[in-house]
Amino acid sequence: MMIEMLTPLAVVLRGECAAVDVPADGGRLTVLPRHQALVCLLKDGLVYVDSEDALRETWRVAGASLSVSDNKVTLLAAEAERA
């Protein structure tokens, strides 16, 4: 699936991934390929992006929301940096 992570200043991440684990308002949420459409607010915290070759990137986000649609994850954040 595709992921895009954007801040007001830049696209900080764009590419293919196998899974995305986020700090959703109700607890941790893992998005896998072909996930049901979803829009939610995220708590400030760590986002884990797993690549298709089993590598994991860790990002610290604040003021973020997540949308999932048509096998694409879009994460909008006021702040995002590699952790």
Stated length of the chain: 83
State residue 40's pLDDT score.
Answer: 97
| One pLDDT digit (tens) per residue for the chain, 83 residues | 999 999 999 999 999 999 999 999 999 999 999 999 999 999 999 999 999 998 999 999 999 999 999 999 999 999 999 99
**pTM of the model as a whole:** 0.94
Give CA–CA dist 63/44, Å, rounded.
6
Q: What is the pLDDT of residue 63?
A: 98
Domains of the chain in start order, with CATH, are: 2-82 (2.60.15.10)
Q: What dihedral do alpha carbons 50, 24, 27, 17 form, nearest 10°?
A: -10
Write down the pLDDT at residue 54. Answer: 86
Tokens of 30: 């893992």
